[in-house]
Amino acid sequence: MLTKYDITLSFPLGAKFYNNINTLIYKKLMEFIHHLTCINKGGKCKDCPLQDKCQYYHLTGENFSFYPGIIIENSPFTKRLLRQNDELQLVIYLIGECNVSSGYINLFFEEYLNHHIAGSFFLIKQLEYSQIKLSKIKRNTLSFSSLFEKDSFKSVYNNMMIYYRNNYGMDLSILEDDYEMLNTIESSLEPIKFKTRYIKPKGIICQSIIISEEIEDIIFYTGLGRYNYMGGGRIEN
């Protein structure tokens, strides 16, 4: 099961963002969860002896080493100038058993931000969640609009499905065969500095791939690959 949060923020006075606002919100959300859950604030996340008991470590895919269980829809073309009463639409996904942490999302928007983001005042017009029932689908051709890690498509796909199965309780299948990626180009995403790690995503954008097997439709929501939590691996409709 996939939990989807639909969030609408209204800016009565307008707003001007100098950086990607979706990335900033995700970064602040992770900092908030770290503040609430870290039980060894004096230590470093990468070698903390309490990793197995840490919600932050779990929700961030082992400190962003793998696949975080919280994802925000993102795009490099996110609007940065909002006029008076303009709205910002956000979508956040919780993977599988990570939905037990949904309270953090509500608390973050309703209390922690105190109606301000990047110095701009906002009102919450919508903060609702729904459950998405996932399934396998047949899709002969895929085209990606943002990067995933540079590896075979089978490895990129299967590694994510296996991690979601083992760590978030998802029932997902893997590919039996590998498929040739056509028209690939090297790309990068805007770096992001979390409280516990600096991430500078680099990889490839696959503009075309032909697949004969059924695939899990979760990737049409979350994107595919190690950087999907910050807008990587997005599939063009």
In CATH, what number is assigned to the domain containing residue 67? 3.30.70
User: Is 60 contained in some domain?
Assistant: yes
pLDDT for the residue numbered 189: 86
Instruction: Name the domain boundary from 111, 132, 153.
Output: 132
Burial of 138 from C-beta contacts in 10 A (0-12 / 13-18 / 19+): exposed
One domain, residues 144 and 107: no
Give the model confidence (pLDDT) of 18-29 as tens digits.
Answer: 999 999 999 999
pLDDT for the residue numbered 43: 83
One domain, residues 55 and 28: yes
The whole-angstrom separation of Cα 134 and Cα 131 is 9
Mean pLDDT of 134-158: 96
pLDDT for the residue numbered 13: 96
One domain, residues 9 and 105: yes
The whole-angstrom separation of Cα 192 and Cα 206 is 23
One domain, residues 127 and 158: no
Instruction: Name the domain boundary from 109, 132, 155.
Output: 132
User: Is 235 contained in some domain?
Assistant: no
Question: For residue 144, what is the DSSP state?
Answer: B
Buried b (16+ CB within 10 A) or exposed e, 34-57: beebbeeeeeebeebeeeeebbbb
The angle formed by the CA atoms of residues 55, 117 and 101, to the nearest 5 degrees, is: 20
pLDDT for the residue numbered 41: 82
pLDDT for the residue numbered 190: 84
Mean pLDDT of 70-75: 94
Question: For residue 151, what is the DSSP state?
Answer: S
Mean pLDDT of 186-203: 93
Range in 40-49, 131-140, 145-154, 177-186 the model is least confident about: 40-49
pLDDT for the residue numbered 77: 78
For residue 53 the two structure tokens come to: 């008991």
Instruction: Name the domain boundary from 73, 99, 132.
Output: 132
One domain, residues 154 and 201: yes
The whole-angstrom separation of Cα 231 and Cα 139 is 21
One domain, residues 122 and 163: no
What is the residue range of 93's domain? 2-132
